[in-house]
Amino acid sequence: MDAEAWDERYAASELVWSAGPNQFVADALGDLPPGRATDLAAGEGRNAIWLARRGWAVTAVDFSQVALDKGRRVAGDAEVDWVRGDATTWRPAEPVDLVVVAYLHLPADQRRAALRGAVGSLAPGGTFFLVGHDTTNIAEGTGGPQDPTVLSTAEDVLADLEGLDVDVVRAERVARRVEPEHGGEPDRVAWDCLVHLVRG
């Protein structure tokens, strides 16, 4: 989907995603000391807003202006810098301490460009955290993109980042219970790809 298509999708409902942070983001990053963060392909900014309320200086980047405008309204008094940009090419002016990439689904070459750029934007010791629909979710899970060319496994992500100085904290397939309000049936499971790294 291009930016125009995402603008239409975000304009069609009050919130496309939940108001709270992704469960894996909250579990993994809740104890990190605040610093500078990028939420790449932030959508309506649920993770960016959560980080800002925990003291982070956050830039939320997305190519959908509609999503960013909605995020700004939802954020209330949470201070987030909302920036329209392409995840494959956008870079912060200064190194950051955290990059979150949640449910960014791109063809392999574009994904590789986005992820290598994201890790490259980290300060030494900075954290990279990615979660997205796993390739196996089409056959074994529920929801998410049905185009296998935009899905990946943890192994794919690590291959994208080959040669970069990173320490792997966690890289695996994880199960996520899909809430009924997200369009899935109760007690259905979606399979996600999760990669948590620290830059050397």
Residues in the chain: 200
Q: What is the DSSP string of 42-81?
A: -TT-HHHHHHHHTT-EEEEEES-HHHHHHHHHHHTT--EE
How far, in Å, CA of 63 to CA of 110, rounded? 14
Is 42 in contact with 75 (CB distance < 8 Å)?
no
Which pLDDT value is given to residue 12? 46
CATH number at residue 134: 3.40.50.150
pLDDT digits (tens, 9 = 90+) for 11-57: 445 554 456 899 999 999 999 999 999 999 999 999 999 999 999 99
Which pLDDT value is given to residue 7? 43
How far, in Å, CA of 6 to CA of 11, rounded? 8
Per the structure, the count of domains in the chain is: 1
pLDDT for 164 beyond 80 = yes
Nearest to 135 by CA among 125, 146, 121: 146
How far, in Å, CA of 166 to CA of 21, rounded? 25
Q: pTM for the complete prediction?
A: 0.89
The range of the structural domain enclosing residue 190 comes to: 3-12+20-199
pLDDT digits (tens, 9 = 90+) for 73-111: 999 999 999 999 999 999 999 999 999 999 999 999 999
